[in-house]
Amino acid sequence: MKVSPHAPRRQRKALYNADPFERRRRMALPLSRELRGRFHIRSLPVRKGDTVRVLSGSFETREERVAKVNRRDYTLILDNVTLKTGEEKLKALPIRPSHLVITRLNLADPWRRRVLRVSEEEVTPEERGEAPEPEEEAAPASPPAAEPKVEPPAAVTDPEPPAAEAKPARRRSRKSAGDEAEDDA
């Protein structure tokens, strides 16, 4: 019996046996319309620092930054996308790449800029992963700070008597194995 290379079992086997390079390619996400128009490319492998929009599920329409790319499980961990566990703890929710679209790229890597054919001058500080520098206004020079006033010490009163020291908690003594045997008898 001949088995088709497109059979579902072969596709699943290819997923599980893929090398890291192939897993990276399989985790490529489509770009938003704005990015598609700017970079003239349809999809790109996702990486930490990219901002993505969730297309389906309970977090639909949220835009979050990628915190971790898990290539082994083909999932992504996003900032602020969490679930409550039974113990009321917050746990990161892994999301499959098929539910996401890239809305802002992390262009800190020069290799990625070269693939997208973006020059250094075109990249904004946000895309580079740097915090934008706040613009400083020409503020008038402030006068030097005056010395703080020192208040005279308050009248000395009798100090309170020291509080009685608390006794340390009593420790139970451990019985040796021989003592336990005598208690059982």
Distance (Å, whole) CA 39 – CA 115: 10
Radius of gyration over every alpha carbon of the chain, rounded to an integer in angstroms = 32
Residue 19 lies in a domain: yes
- List alpha helices for 31-174, DSSP H: 33-39, 110-116, 125-128
Residue 91 lies in a domain: yes
Beta-carbon-side half-sphere exposure of residue 5 (alpha carbons within 13 Å): 0
Q: What is the domain range of residue 89? A: 8-128
- Count of structural domains within the chain: 1
Residue 89 lies in a domain: yes
- List alpha helices for the chain, DSSP H: 8-16, 20-26, 33-39, 110-116, 125-128, 177-184
Tens of pLDDT, residue by residue, the chain (185 residues): 676 778 899 999 999 999 999 999 999 999 999 999 999 999 999 999 999 999 999 999 999 999 999 999 999 999 999 999 999 899 999 999 999 999 999 999 899 999 999 888 888 888 887 766 656 555 555 555 566 666 666 655 655 656 666 666 666 666 555 555 555 55
Task: Tell me the CATH number at 118.
Answer: 2.30.30.30
Tens of pLDDT along 137-170?
555 555 555 666 666 666 556 556 566 666 666 6
Amino acid code (one letter) for 75? T
Distance (Å, whole) CA 64 – CA 38: 21
Residue 78 lies in a domain: yes
Among all chains, which residue has been given the structure tokens 């009248």? 155
- Per DSSP, the three-state class of 184 is helix
